[in-house]
């Protein structure tokens, strides 16, 4: 027969200070082949106090992205975000000196719309193209980070408005000024070393910047492949019948393509974050919520401060399984807002310095740093039980073993890397904000 653990509850109520174990009962659990199925000596504890906070990274690399990211969007929880994309262009290995009957036709930039987007895609979207006025290198500014930037012309060399449909993955074309194209075509015709030498060409065309009108309320992703054409010079070879031809200019294969972000968090729960500074702020100061947003460098940080008390109370207990369930803040995602839930979110181990999987967080220090990828269950019927679930057994046992001096916490990070074509956004919180974080321990020996 299942029995209540009265002695343990009495000890806890005596002031041990363990925020844990407000509900503790024997349970029958099927652990598969580990031999504990139906064991009446297994107890389940599912109430622990949570120290919840949001970590803001000082900066993050964006030059590893597979996309140009362009747009402007206002998120009621995270504020306004503007993003522009910088890139360099490589000239083709093309000798037109013997093409005596060739004549310039036009020049354009071509972009392929990706499926990723954020915001309202039902209204026209304006793209501005600027010419960068300073070489994109490390001489003056850092390159490749979300906070990097380079000067460009005050007036765009081209502007075009589209009605973009990410689901169709359209290819769009932005026509550039004819005079801009004729100058490049002349160099191709003479086989000038300005186009045959990549270094010289980057001195001539230092780079381009894709930006948008601040009146737009959407962010779009455009596919980027260094081997693909990005700029095209169209010309004709005349004869009996004119033959249209194209000189293809590709994205430079250097790491100097990056997406640059600016943020305005005023009037939001995250307004207290200092731009460009690595810091952690308690959920007590951010509306009892923590925020994950890959494009803002925000990550929820979760810590259970009193796990070690279990070992103090019962030195011989064994945690057979530990499950962490996280319910997103109610009404913070589709269909209540514009923002879908990330399909996969990693749970990583960090120390007090928020080092992720580095030398300060290693198996040699006695902590299990195995990255867990949360399994997302979406409650499409009632919308009340949507949750991410993690197996954190190794981590919990490591923290219990470390005892009072354990400094480890968990950090929620979007799965994959920055290159994904999506705005990965998640709000987690306590019951006070319509969310839930619950750690379930299945324990033998209480």
pLDDT at 307: 79
Nearest-10 Cα torsion for 38, 43, 44, 50: -160
Is 85 inside any structural domain?
Answer: yes
Same domain assignment for residues 110 and 189: yes
The dihedral sign for the CA sequence 428, 431, 434, 439: positive
In the chain, the number of structural domains is: 2
Residue 191 domain flag: yes
- 272 part of a folded domain: no
Q: Are residues 308 and 243 in the same domain?
A: no
Q: Is 143 found in the same domain as 46?
A: no
> Residue 303: phi, psi to the nearest 5?
-140, 140
Judge whether 430 lies within some domain. Answer: yes
Last residue of a domain, one of 217, 233, 263: 263
Asked, for residue 270, whether it belongs to a domain, the answer is no
- Residue 269 maps to a domain: no
Do 100 and 143 reside in the same domain of the chain? yes
Could you tell me if 425 and 432 are in contact, meaning their C-beta atoms sit under 8 angstroms apart?
no
Do 326 and 190 reside in the same domain of the chain?
no
Residue 370 lies in a domain: yes
For residue 429, the enclosing domain spans: 6-57+278-444
Check whether residue 343 and residue 295 sit in a common domain.
yes
Q: Is 234 in the same domain as 322? A: no
pLDDT tens, per residue, the chain with 446 residues: 333 334 433 333 333 333 333 334 443 333 333 444 456 678 888 767 889 999 999 999 898 788 999 999 999 999 999 999 999 999 999 999 998 899 999 999 999 998 889 998 889 999 999 999 999 987 767 888 999 999 999 999 999 999 998 888 788 999 999 999 999 999 999 999 999 999 999 999 999 999 998 778 999 999 887 777 799 999 999 877 889 999 999 998 777 899 999 999 999 999 999 988 999 999 999 999 999 999 999 999 999 877 777 777 777 778 889 999 999 999 999 899 989 999 889 999 888 888 764 433 334 345 565 667 777 899 887 778 899 999 988 888 888 877 666 678 899 998 865 545 578 999 999 888 888 999 998 988 66
Both tokens assigned to 363: 């198996």
Contact indicator for 291, 77 with CB cutoff of 8 Å: yes
Does the pTM of the predicted model rise above 0.75? yes
- Domain-terminating residue out of 207, 235, 263: 263
**Is residue 335 domain-shared with residue 303, that is, in the same domain?**
yes
User: Which of these three, 263, 288, 313, is where a domain ends?
Assistant: 263
pLDDT of amino acid 298 = 95
Residues 253 and 105 grouped into a single domain: yes
Same domain, 353 and 235: no
Q: Is residue 309 part of a domain?
A: yes
List the Cα angle 144/145/147 in 5-degree steps: 130
Q: Are residues 132 and 16 in the same domain?
A: no
> Residue 369's Cα: distance from chain center in Å?
21
324 with 375, same domain?
yes
């Amino acid at each position: 027969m299942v029995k209540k653990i009265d002695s343990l509850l009495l000890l806890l109520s005596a002031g041990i200070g363990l925020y844990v174990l407000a509900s503790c009962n024997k349970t029958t659990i099927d652990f598969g082949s580990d031999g504990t199925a139906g064991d009446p000596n297994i107890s389940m504890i599912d109430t622990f106090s949570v120290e919840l906070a949001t970590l803001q990274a000082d900066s993050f690399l964006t030059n590893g992205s597979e996309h140009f990211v362009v747009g402007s969007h206002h998120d009621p929880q995270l504020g306004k975000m503007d993003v522009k994309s910088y890139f360099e262009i490589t000239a083709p290995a093309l000798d037109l000196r013997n093409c005596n009957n060739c004549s310039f036709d036009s020049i354009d930039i071509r972009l392929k719309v990706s499926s990723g987007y954020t915001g309202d895609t039902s209204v026209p979207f304006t793209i501005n193209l600027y010419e960068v006025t300073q070489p994109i290198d490390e001489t003056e500014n850092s390159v490749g980070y979300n906070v990097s930037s380079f000067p460009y012309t005050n007036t765009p060399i081209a502007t075009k408005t589209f009605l973009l449909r990410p689901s169709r993955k359209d290819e769009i074309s932005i026509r550039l000024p004819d005079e801009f194209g004729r100058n490049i075509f002349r160099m191709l015709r003479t086989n000038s070393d300005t186009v045959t030498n990549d270094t010289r060409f980057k001195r001539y065309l230092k780079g381009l910047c894709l930006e948008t009108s601040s009146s737009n309320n959407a962010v779009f992703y455009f596919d980027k492949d260094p081997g693909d054409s990005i700029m095209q010079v169209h010309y004709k070879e005349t004869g009996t019948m004119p033959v249209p031809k194209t000189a293809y200019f590709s994205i430079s294969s250097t790491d100097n393509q990056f997406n640059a972000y600016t943020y305005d968090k005023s009037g939001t729960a995250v307004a207290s974050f200092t731009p460009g500074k690595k810091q952690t702020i308690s959920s007590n100061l951010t509306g009892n919520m923590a925020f994950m947003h890959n494009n803002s460098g925000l990550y929820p940080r979760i810590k259970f401060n009193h796990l070690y008390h279990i070992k103090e109370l019962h030195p011989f207990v064994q945690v057979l399984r530990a499950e962490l369930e996280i319910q997103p803040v109610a009404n913070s995602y589709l269909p209540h807002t514009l923002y879908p839930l990330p399909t996969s979110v990693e749970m990583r181990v960090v120390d007090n310095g928020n080092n992720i999987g580095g030398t300060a967080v290693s198996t040699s220090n006695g902590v299990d740093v195995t990255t867990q990828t949360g399994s997302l269950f979406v409650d499409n019927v009632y919308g009340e039980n949507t949750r991410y679930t993690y197996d954190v057994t190794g981590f919990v046992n490591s923290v219990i073993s470390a005892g009072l001096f354990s400094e480890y916490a968990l950090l929620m990070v979007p799965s994959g890397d920055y290159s994904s074509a999506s705005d990965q956004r998640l709000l987690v919180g306590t019951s006070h904000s319509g969310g839930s974080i619950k750690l379930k321990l299945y324990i033998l020996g209480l």
